[in-house]
Structure 1
Amino acid sequence: MASGHIAQCLGGILARRAGATVAVSGDLCLNGAQLVDGVRSLAAGLLERGVRPGDVVAVVGFNSIEYMELLLAIPYIGAIVAPLNYRWSFEEAVQALELVRPSAFIFDGAYSSWALRLMESQSFSSICLYVTIGDPVNIGQVVSVDHVKRSCRGTTEMEPVSAPRDVGLICFTSGTTGQPKGVAISHTSLIIQSLAKIAVVGYGEDDVYLHTAPLCHIGGISSCLAILMAGGCHVLIPKFDAKSAIKAIQEHKVTCFITVPTIMADLLSYSRKDKISGCGSVAKILNGGGRLSDELINGASHLFFNAAIFSAYGMTEACSSLTFMRMNNPEVEETKNQLTKQSEGVCVGKPSPHVEIRIGRDESNSTSSQMGKILTRGLHTMVGYWGNSTADTPESVRNGWLDTGDTGWIDRTGKLWLMGRQKGRIKSGGENVYPEEVLLILLVHVMSSSIFSS
C-alpha cells in the first residue's frame, strides 16, 4: 500500500481510544478495540467469502454501527464500497447496480425484497454474495454481517489493500442528467477531505458526533470518516427525525453534527413545540446542501447557544466540501452588507487549504464581469464517473480542472460568491446572463415581487 488508506484510522483508534466508547446505537455501545476488531473481522470474512480487490460491494440500509464498519471493512481488502440511497425505488437501485455490477449485495431487513428480486433476476448473476445487516433473514443463501465476522478463519492482522486507481468509494449522484452517476472517489480524496473538516471545524477525540445525515451521501460519509480519524465517538440513529435527534443530543451530550436547512428547520420546529430550552453540549455544527436563512441561523444560535455554526459549499465530485464559512460571528454582518450592496450572489467562504479554485470565463464572452464558471483542481476531485465514459467529458474535466457546474466570482479577500447553475444561463447580445443575476436585481430594486419558477 504505497498511498494513504481510509482504514489507517483504525491504528489511531486502537492506540488512543481502545477502552473508550467510540460508537453508540440504541443499547449497543462499542469501545475502540471492539470497533477495530469488528472491522478487521468483517474484512477478513468478506475476503474468505470471495470478495476480491477491485470488486464493487453495494450496500443499502439505514445508519447503524455495522454500516459504519462496512465503510471501512470493504475498502480494507481493496474492494470498493458503493452505498445505495435508501430513498430510491427498486427500479432506481437497479439503474445504479447495472452501472457498477457488484460482486456482493449487503442490505438491512427493510430491503429484503430487493435482495429477493435480485436473486431471481438473471441480470445480476455477478452478485455471488448476499449479506444482511442486523438480524438474519430467511432468504436463500443470505448470511448476516455477524455471521461473516464469526466465521472468519484467517488472520485479522492483515494490512489494508488499495483497489486499482486508489478507488475506495463509489458515491451516487444524479447531477444534471437525472440518472444515477457513480462518482469514483479515491482514498486520498477521502483522507484530505477528512483532514480539512478536522482543521476547519475542529473535530477532536473528545467530540461526540450525531449522525444526522445518511451514510449513503458524501456529506454523511466524509464527516463520518473525519470523526473516525479524529478519534471521536459516533452516535447513530437509523435515520433523521427531530425527536430522535434531540433525544440523542441530550442523552449522549452530543457535541457536533452536520445539517442541511430542512434538518435545521425541523430541529427548531420540534424544539419550539416541545419547549426545549437549549442544547448546551453542542459546540460545532456544519451546514451544507444550501444556505441557512438568517431566521435559521438566529434560531440555531439560541437553541445551540454554545455552538460555532459553519456552512460549507461542495459537491460529490469534489468529495464533499470545497469552501467553509463561519456563520454566527461578526463577519456574517459584514457579509450581509456586501450582499445587499453588491447583489452578486451568496458568499460561501474560502477554500480549505488543499483546494484550488478559479473562475473560468467564457472565451466568447467579451464582458469584463468577474463572474464565470467555478472550477476546482486538486487531489480532492473525483477519479471519474464509474463505467460511464460519456459523462466524463472535457466539459466537466479539462486540463485537470473540474467544472462544478456552478457560476460565481471571487472577491479581493479570497471568498467565493455563488451565483447559481450554469445550465440556466441565457445568451443576450452575445453575453451570458444568469437567472440569479436577474432575481437579485429584482430583489434589490423592487419593493414587492413574486417570482414563480417551474
Structure 2
Amino acid sequence: MVRPSSHIGEPLRQLKALRGKDVATVCEGRVQSGAEFVDRIAGLSIGLRRTGLEPGERVSIAALNSEWYLEWLLAVPCAGGIIAPLNHRWSVEEASEAIREVGASMLVVDRHCVGWCVALRELCPSLKWFVYIGSGESPTDRTLMTAESLMHLAGDSPQLELIFSPNWITLICFTSGTTGRPKGVSLSHNALIVQSQAKIAEVGYSSDDIYLHVATLCHVGGISSALAIVMANGCHILLPKFEIRAAFGSIAQFRVSAMIVVPSLVSDMASYYHSTTRSSADESAEDMRTFPSMKTILNGAGGLSQDQLKVMKDIFPSAKIMSAYGMTEACSSMTFLLLHNPEAKAAQECYDHFAACNKTLNNQTLKLSESWQTFHKGGVCVGKPPPHVSIRILAVNEELTTLGRISKNFTSMKIKGDDGKQSSSTSWLPDIWDTTRRRIIGIGSSEQPVLLEQDTHSNYEEGVVTVGRVLTRGPHVMEGYWGRPEKTREALRTDGWLDTGDVGWIDEAGMLWLLGRQKDVIKSGGENVYASEVERLLVKHPAVSSASVVGVPDQRLGEAVTAMVRLERGWEWADGRPRSKDTTTQNSVSESSLRIHCQQQGLSRYKVPKYILVQEGEFPVTSTGKVKKDSVRDMAIAQLGSREVTSGTSSLILKHSVPPDGNLIRSRL
C-alpha cells in the first residue's frame, strides 16, 4: 500500500472557506451552508472518537440519500474509521453477510432501514453501536444513539481533524459476489482523490455547479461523484429516492446544472417528459418543457442508445453529455467519452472518430469461441482514460484461442512478457483478417498471459488491433477485497494491473472499445446481478432440477434477468402443460411461485428474474461441460418470441434473428 499524499477530508477546509455562507446541501426542505455542513462533519468525527471508535474500525451505513448520509461518508474517514455503505435495497440476510464480511463495529440507519436493527443485533455480533440519523429519535427503537448525541460529545465549535486508518483504506464498497456472498472492495484515500480529480478534469465540475444526486450513495458511482462535487466546492441537491416528477421539479426549482444517469433512468425520464409535454395545454411554453440550466450529464452503468441520447438533448438542450466506463474495483470511472457538446459547431463532432471506425468494421464479425456471442461492428466505444489511469489489453489463453491462422503481417507487433522482455516472434499468436482486409484481429493463446505493448498512451501500429482482456493500473485501483486474499489474487496481478473481466481493444486514437464480459454478470437497471447467485437459489426449490440465468435485452433496464429452468420428474408447469414424462404428475409450479421462492430465500427484489421459462431437455454445454450461456440466451429470446415485452413505461420487441446490439455491452460507472 502507498501512503496517501492527502486525506479525503482535506477539501472540506477549502469548502468551508469558499462556501461558508453559501448553500452547500438541500434535502426535503432542509438547507445547510458550507460552514454548517463542515462543522457537523467535524462534530460527528470527534464524537465518534470519544464514543470509542478506533482508527481502522468499520462503520456500516444503511439509509436513503440525504445530507446526513453525505456527512457520515466524510465524518467516518475523518475519524480514522472506514465507511462501509450497505445497499438499502438488500434483504436483511444480505446486509448481515456484508456486515460480518468486514466485521463492522457500528451500524448507522435511517427511518427506511431502522427495522433491520432487531435482526442484525442477533446476526452480527461484531456490532457494538447502533446510530439513528434523521430528525429526532428513532421512530421504532429509542435505544439507538443519534447523530446529535454524538455531536454533543464534541462540544461547541468543533475543529476538523484528519486521521488516517492504519492501512490507509477509507471506503469499503460492496460488489455482489458470484456465490451470493458480497465482496468488500477496499479503496484508499488516493483512489478517491484521483477519481474526484478525474471527474473534475474530464466532466468539468466546478464551484458553480448545483448537482442533483440521482445515484444512490451506497454505490461507488454515487459516492465518487459526491466527493468530486465536495472537492469542486459545489452545491448538493439530494432526493431520498429517485422519483421522476420530484427530479424534474428539483431541476426546475434549484436550476440544477449537473447530474449522473443510467440508461434505465433515462428511459423513465423520457417517458415522463413525453407524457407531460403531450398533455401540456400551452404548446408555446417551450422553456417550461426543457431545462436549459443543465450543463453536464454523465451517463454510466450502460451505453445510451441513439434514441435515448436524442431525448436527452431535447430535454436538456444546453447540456454536455458524456459517458463513463468503470467498475467498483477501479473506484468508478476508468474512461470518459464525450457524446454531445451543444457548443460545438458541427452536429456530429463527437461521432467523427468512432463513426469512421464503425464504417470500416461494418461487415466485421469477431467470433470469440463457443462461449461468446458474435459481436458486430467492433463493440462499443467507451472513450479514453483520464490522467493517472492506464488501460492495457492482455492477450489471454483460456477461451480466446480460435480466431484462425497466423498472418505474416502480424509478426511486427511488439510483445512484452511478465519478465519484461520484448519479443517480435508471434508464431503462437493466432489472428484473423476482418472482411474489409484492412485490420488484423489478434488473440494471444500462450501458456502464460502476455502483455501487449498497446495502451492508450502508446503508438498504435497501423493495420493492427489486438483483442483481449481489459486491464487497468494506477492509484484508482482497489487495495483488494476485504478479507478475501484469494479473490484479490485472482483480480490483481503482481505487477499492479487489475483485470476488469471485460474484453476489448484499443484503436489508433487511443479509444477503448468493449466487446463483452468474461464475468457472468447481468446489468439490470444499473445494478449488478450475478447469474450464479440466482441459479443457486432457484435449484433449492423442489421443482427445479437445474437452472441457467441470463440477461435479455430490455430498453429500460438494459438487461432483464431471465431464468430458464428444468423441472424435476413429477412436476408440471402451472399453465397445465406437463414438463416431464411422468403422466402421474401431482405437483405444479408457476413463474410467480418461483419468484416468491427467490424472495423468501433472501434474494433482493432487483435480482429476482423478470422472466422464468421452462427448458425441455438438457442445457447446451461446451466440451468441458460448461453451460453455453449465449445459446441459453438465444433460446430464452426465442421462447419470448416476437411478442412485445412490456418493461415499466417502455417496451422492447425481442426477435431471435436480431444479433446483440453494441449498446448491450454494459459499462459500469
Same fold by TM-score, threshold 0.5 exceeded?
Answer: yes
Gaps of 5+ in 2: 278-287, 342-348, 362-376, 402-428, 432-441, 443-465, 521-620, 635-654, 665-669
- Size of the aligned set, in residue pairs, is 439
Matched residues in 2 for 1:283 and 1:177: separation?
A: 41
Q: Could you tell me how far apart the structure 2 residues matched to 1:332 and 1:90 are? A: 46
Q: What is the aligned partner in structure 2 of residue 295 from structure 1?
A: 307
Q: Which residue of 2 aligns with 1:286?
A: 298
Give the CA deviation at 1:74.
0.4
Deviates more, 1:178-187 or 1:211-220: 178-187
Q: Which residue of the partner structure matches residue 325 of structure 2?
A: 313
- 1:393 is paired with a residue of what secondary structure? helix
Distance in 2 separating the partners of 1:314 and 1:434 = 24
Relative to structure 1, is the Cα distance of residues 434 and 351 closer, same or farther in structure 2, using a 3 angstrom cutoff? farther
Q: Which residue of the partner structure matches residue 444 of structure 1? A: none
Question: How far did residue 177 of structure 1 move?
Answer: 4.7
Cα-to-partner distance string for 1:418-453 (whole Å, 9 max, x where unaligned): 1111247x999xxxx9969xx9xxxxxxx9924599
1:7 is paired with a residue whose SS is coil
Quickly say closer, same or farther: Cα 1:170–1:154, change in 2 above 3 A: farther
Give the whole-Å Cα distance in 2 for the aligned partners of 1:110 and 1:301. Answer: 35
Aligned to 1:385, which of 472, 476, 481?
481
What is the RMSD of the two structures over their aligned residues, measured on CA atoms?
2.5
**How far, CA to CA, are the matches of 1:395 and 1:318 in structure 2?**
11
Cα deviation, residue 396, structure 1: 4.0
Cα deviation, residue 178, structure 1: 4.0
Please give the alpha-carbon distance, in whole angstroms, between the structure 2 residues aligned to 1:413 and 1:62: 41
Tell me whether 1:344 sits opposite 2:378 in the alignment. yes
Whole-Å separation in 2 of the counterparts to 1:53 and 1:172: 20
Q: C-alpha separation between the residues in 1 aligned to 2:156 and 2:498?
A: 43
Q: Distance in 1 between matches of 2:245 and 2:160?
A: 42
**Contact 1:104-1:130 at 8 Å conserved across structures:** yes
Partner Cα separation in structure 1 for residue 338 and residue 164 of structure 2? 36
- Tell me whether 81-90 or 267-276 shows the greater mean CA deviation: 267-276
Deviation at 1:399, TM superposition (A): 1.7
Compared CA separation, residues 39 and 313, structure 1 to 2 (3 A): same
Distance 1:172 1:373 in 2: 23
Q: Tell me which of 396, 405, 422 is aligned to 1:362.
A: 396
1:310 to 1:62, Cα distance in 2 relative to 1, 3 A: same
Q: Residues 48-97 of structure 1, C-alpha deviation per residue, up to 9 Å, x if partnerless?
A: 11111000000000000010000000000110000000110111111101
Q: Which residue of 2 aligns with 1:376?
A: 472
> Taking structure 1 as reference, are residues 143 and 434 closer, same or farther at Cα in structure 2, changes over 3 Å only?
closer
**2:57–2:104 Cα contact (<8 Å) kept:** yes
- Mapped partners of 2:629, 2:494: distance in 1: 23
* Alignment CA distance shift 1:304-1:232 (3 Å): same
One-letter code aligned to 2:46: A
What letter is aligned with 2:357? Q
Q: What are the within-5 Å matches in structure 2 for residues 389-428 of structure 1? A: 389-423=485-519
Q: What are the equivalent positions in structure 2 for 1:9-88 lying under 5 Å apart?
A: 9-88=11-90
Partner deviation per Cα, 1:141-183 (whole Å, 9 max, x = no partner): 3021122213424873252011122100000001545431100
| 8 Å contact kept, 2:503–2:514 | yes
Letter of the 2:226 partner, please give it: C
Residues in 1 aligned to 2:160 and 2:242: alpha-carbon distance in whole angstroms: 36
Distance change (3 Å), C-alpha of 1:155 and 1:317: same
Equivalent position SS for 2:487: coil
Superposition pairs of residues 208-357 of structure 1, within 5 angstroms: 208-275=210-277, 277-329=289-341, 330-342=349-361, 343-357=377-391
Return the offset for 1:118: 1.9
Q: Which residue of 2 is the match for residue 125 of structure 1?
A: 125
Match of 1:449 among 633, 641, 657: 657
**TM-score between both structures, scaled by the size of structure 1:** 0.91
Q: Please say if residues 286 and 310 of structure 1, whose CA atoms lie closer than 8 Å, have aligned partners that are also in contact.
A: yes
Partner Cα separation in structure 2 for residue 2 and residue 204 of structure 1: 24
Q: Is the 8 A contact 1:377 1:401 kept in 2?
A: yes
CA contact (8 A) 1:339 1:346 kept: no
What letter is aligned with 2:318? N
Offset at residue 379 of structure 1 (A): 0.6
CA deviations over 1:368-421 (Å, ceiling 9, x no partner) = 311000001111000100011221124543421100000000001100001111
**Structure 1, 143-152 or 342-351: larger mean CA deviation:** 143-152
Letter in 2 for 1:131: V
What are the residue-to-residue correspondences of 1:161-200 with 2, within 5 Å?
A: 161-174=163-176, 176-200=178-202
Give the Cα–Cα distance (whole angstroms) in 1 for the partners of residues 4 and 173 of structure 2: 24
C-alpha spacing 1:94/1:448, structure 2 compared with 1 (3 Å)? closer
Deviation at 1:32, TM superposition (A): 0.7
Higher alpha-carbon deviation: 40-49 or 324-333: 324-333
Distance (Å, rounded) in 2 between the aligned partners of 1:451 and 1:293: 15
Greater Rg by CA: 2
Relative distance call for 1:397 and 1:178 in structure 2 (3 A) is: farther
The percentage of aligned residue pairs carrying the same residue is 42
Conserved in 2, the CA contact under 8 Å of 1:44 and 1:155? no
The structure whose residues are more often helix, as a share, is 1
CA drift at 1:338: 2.2
Alpha-carbon distance between aligned partners in 1 of 2:79 and 2:158, rounded to the nearest angstrom: 11
Q: Which amino acid aligns with 1:412?
A: E
Q: Give SS of 1:6's match.
A: coil
Find the counterpart in structure 1 of residue 10 from structure 2. 8
